[in-house]
Structure 1
Amino acid sequence: MSEAPELPSDEALAAEHAIGLLSAAERAQAERRMAVDPGFAAHVAAWEARLAPLLEEIDPVAPPVSVWPRIEARLAANDDTAMLRKRISFWRGAAAGSLGLAAASVAVAVMLATRPPTLIAPPEPAPLLNASLKGDAGITPLFVAAYDPDRKALIITSLVPPGSDPVHVHQLWLIPADGKPRSLGMVEPGRSRAMPMPGDMAPMIAEGATLAVSVEAPGGSTNPDGPTGPIAAKGALAKI
């Protein structure tokens, strides 16, 4: 039987942790390192993912009643020298017949050692939302908006010609599922504006929520609970 290729020290330690070959002190040290070293933690996770299918292929076998007494009798002999011998024998390979089921698992782990770690696909980005804000006639949008849930930023563009109503301002409102308007700020005619959403506001900007623009006196609505002036345009957010 040919010897398995040697692994880099970090990979070897990660595999030993995943298989359970470390002593209690070594395991505690490895887990402390996992908490501060993302690269090493990724190695351990990759080894656990590689070895997990083995558990599904092995039928459970009840051990003889004499096993536990024999293990308890030998616990005192589990010193560092014995652990070192155990780890050396693991990396050099073991005869399947001599170590039984444990050796079979180890042999498969050695064969997998040269394979690259399984890459975990990143999560899918949240879908973008957009809205066309139209007046009562509902023909041509007066404002268009887009929201990026990952960046928590809303971009609103006014299609109203600049200077068309110099004595009023346009105020943007979010009307989420609870029906209570929240002011998002002013929108200048003919301009675009990016609006980062605060943490408490971002969850409210969801599919089906309404964006509305009211016509207000300079300075905006004096009503803290909603618009003072009439609604010029509104539209619901939908997935792009």
Structure 2
Amino acid sequence: MSDAPDLSEAEVLAAEHALGVLAGRERAEAEARMARESEFAALVDAWRERLQPLVDAVPEVAPRPAVWAAIERSLPANDDSAGAVRRLRFWRGATVGSLGLAAASLAAVVVLANRPPAAAPPEPMAPMLNANLAGQPGAQPLFVAAYDPMRKALIVTSLVPPGADPLHVHQLWLIPQDGKPRSLGMVEPGTSKTMAMPKPIEELVAEGAQLAVSVEPPGGSTNPEGPSGPIAARGLLAKI
């Protein structure tokens, strides 16, 4: 497996706090650490300054009223009604402001781009890839992802509020050109996660490959061949 990008724990936490993806106990701990440690507070301020000009350049976009109806239609017709209602409630709770959406999408790129490489970059340097995962084409993304081929690392940010659906987990899948889903693991609501790609999978992460998130029972998909629950968000990897 490739080594994970070498950003320090303090820098990762500072970036996540500046991004606004921490909640509850984690957010309180980060704010307490800012009060105790001036160096950590300076890291958070530096990330806020780094992200703000990029966020300011993104125009506000309000989600369309049809978004939730489209997500409801995408759920399996044979699903039990109680489960469908719980999942619909979960995705309706996933609305985020345009500032948070822009920051999350851009931060996925900025966090990776500002990490020093472990070794000299290959020649020619492969382009970074980005994906916005939404319930329907053109809808507001529920997850954003960026892949750095130089470091063989994918960072995924969930824009879903923590605790919105405690009965299910969110499993991330890579669907390359061969159409066979590969599980990349779980993504916690309201957090950012960096994933180092194992060698068999890193060769499949390419422009045009699809990322998808399924809603699964605790522990993940019960289907060894792919998702067992509904696909709630998907998006194509494209060059940045």
Q: TM-score with structure 1 length normalisation?
A: 0.49
Q: TM-score with structure 2 length normalisation?
A: 0.49
Q: Which has the higher contact order (CA 8 A, sep 6+)?
A: 2
